[in-house]
Amino acid sequence: MVSSAARDVDEYLAEVPAVRRDALTRLRELCRTELSGFDEVMNYGMPAYQRDGVAEIAFASQKQYISLYLMRTDVRDAFAERLAGHDVGKGCLRFRKVEAIDFDLVRDLLKATAATRGRIC
């Protein structure tokens, strides 16, 4: 699933492959817990978390992996050392195996995003 026509995140999660649903649900729970003051929306066919109408975090079930989109360049730069060794693109962190998701790292990235404001890529 690259892009979804789901109207909300519940509908999105219901249509992802069962093998990924628990991990994506956990990502959602982390986002909802750590991103206080953010709105949960569907944006570009994936769950996104926006503040003042601007998406800063999103996640998606892609064909070959689960992606966590980090739109804040300052947060990515601050976590460069911890992100080393992970599959990182310009604006995303890719997890090719569900069991490889580093939920502690994700929680810390979300906390850092919520704590400050910065430039969106």
Interval 66-109: pLDDT, tens: 999 999 999 999 999 999 999 998 889 999 999 989 999 999 99
Q: Structure pTM?
A: 0.93
Q: How many CB atoms lie within 10 A of CB 81?
A: 7
Supply the DSSP symbol for 60. Answer: E
pLDDT of residue 2: 59
Domain boundaries, the chain: 9-115
Instruction: Say if CB 95 and CB 66 are below 8 A apart.
Output: yes
Retrieve residue 81's tokens.
């050392």
Q: What proportion of the chain, given as a percentage, has pLDDT over 90?
A: 86
- For 99, the token pair is 């069991």
Domain 9-115, architecture per CATH: Alpha-Beta Complex (3.90)
DSSP state of 116: -
